[in-house]
Structure 1
């Protein structure tokens, strides 16, 4: 079985487990006033579960558009050394470092560093473009989360704000 079908099978199992929680256990403890509302806290998880099951079944049953040539989704175990595992492990390490450094460095600096170093790991060598895009993206996301959504994110490092 191709790798995409294995991934679809795992997603189907996850959706079934999550769907059990969304359909049968999430709404038991709601107060009566919440039970009369048209949208419950479990509405969005239910939509996600139905969509996930639908699309994973499409892939599992092979109803999606098949490739014209040989199946390129299979992992060729004889050419396992040709895959970029180094980049994948570096990006996973960057994600862990981002999570660890988010509080001490603040959102802006840690997000900027994650985006800049991540694009370098993926092969971008136009440094001015990496810096520009990383700075704009970090600032824009911080503005949206802080000002538009009203969720406080510490933008600066802890030592600059006394914390």
Structure 2
């Protein structure tokens, strides 16, 4: 079985477990008569995940090219040709971002994360990346903090 189908099987298992846990989530008495329940969105996301993974699993196999290799197949012998360094760099950046979020605040951590991951992926226009990261980070912080009323520590601990 191709790699994309194996990933879809794993995704299907995760979506099934997520959907089951959302479906069996105990609701509070006042939530029972609400139109939009706390488990409505998780069940919808689970259903969408199940549908998409089944589409990938049941889709016909891609035709092979002249060499007999189907487009998108993973070949372990060509591992050095893949950009594993970038992938590992992105994973490391995500871990560092998660660890830095509370101490240095949402605005600084997210801006540095977006600029750093853009640099890892090969973007070299530092000014453009910084402006886009600042606008995006500020917009998300404003929407979450002010519109939704969820507190996000915007600045480092020593400034707030």
- Structure 1 length normalisation: TM-score? 0.86
Q: Aligned partners of 1:39 and 1:152: how far apart in 2? A: 23
SS of 1:159's equivalent in the other structure is coil
Tell me the CA shift for residue 158 of structure 1. Answer: 0.9
Q: What's the Cα RMSD here?
A: 2.0
Between 1 and 2, higher relative CO (CA 8 Å, sep ≥ 6) is seen in 1
Pick from 24, 44, 53 the counterpart of residue 47 of structure 1: 44
- Please say if 1:77 is aligned against 2:76: yes
Separation in structure 2 between the aligned mates of residue 8 and residue 52 of structure 1, nearest angstrom:
9
3-state SS of paired residue (2:158): helix
Once the two structures are superposed, residues 40-96 of structure 1 have per-residue CA deviations (whole angstroms, 9 ceiling, x without a partner) of: 2222222122222112111111169x5795532211112111111111111111111
1:121 Cα deviation (Å)? 0.6
Q: Distance in 2 between matches of 1:152 and 1:135?
A: 19
In structure 2, distance between residues paired with 1:127 and 1:45: 38
| Alpha-carbon distance, 1:135 to partner | 1.5
Residue matched to 1:107: 106
Structure 1 unaligned regions, length at least 5:
none
1:11 and 1:151 map into 2 onto residues whose CA distance is 30
Residues in 2 aligned to 1:125 and 1:6: alpha-carbon distance in whole angstroms: 35
TM-score (norm 2): 0.87
